[in-house]
Amino acid sequence: MALLKIYHYPEQVLLEKALPVETIDETIIKLVNDMGETMFDAPGVGLAAPQVGESKRIIVYNPSPGASEDDEDTPQEFKALINPEIIASSGSITSEDEACLSVPDYSSDVKRFETVTVRGLNLEGKKLEFDAQGILAVIMQHEIDHLDGVLYIDRISALKRKMYKKKLKKRLENN
């Protein structure tokens, strides 16, 4: 396994709709494993293929975010979804201080659905469908947004987004 480069806003790959995966082969399996390692190293609770420069509809995520993160004896396990989509949603919550590995040094409250029904494939190509609630629902929405070229900063107020872009521009000018 290898650590992958995480792309940052405004990289073009983050702003485009990712392409569906047609065949789950060794290349896809290697990408998924590398994404899982990269996610935990970052550290994060989810990662979409566009964030590592791959325009593919793949996400990896920690199925139990927050559980035993400080316990080094607990193995870090992740799940992968190929061509995931949200097919139903309900309720409303505010994801407090939502952040993103591709939008460094910034977090904001984001309105999200409380429950989502997700459909996709696992690495064996088996169809999956499940309901996600709370933090897992937020992770699903956040990562699937990445596959559609949407960042969480696209879901905050225009004023907050403008403030972030101004901060980013200043940081880029100083580098």
Q: Which CATH number fits the domain 12-174, given the four candidates 3.40.50.2300, 3.90.1150.10, 3.90.45.10, 3.60.9.10?
A: 3.90.45.10
Domain extent listing, the chain: 12-174
pTM score above 0.85: yes
3-state helix, strand, coil in the chain (%, to 5): 35, 30, 35
Average pLDDT (105-115) is: 95
Distance CA 50, CA 16 (A): 9
Average pLDDT (104-110) is: 93
What is the separation, in whole angstroms, between the first and last Cα of the chain?
Answer: 31
Give the per-residue pLDDT at 128: 97
Is 54 annotated in the active site? no
Q: Which of 26, 85, 143, 173 is catalytic?
A: 143
Q: With 70 as the cut, is the pLDDT of residue 68 above it?
A: no
Average pLDDT (97-117) is: 95
Q: With 70 as the cut, is the pLDDT of residue 42 above it?
A: yes
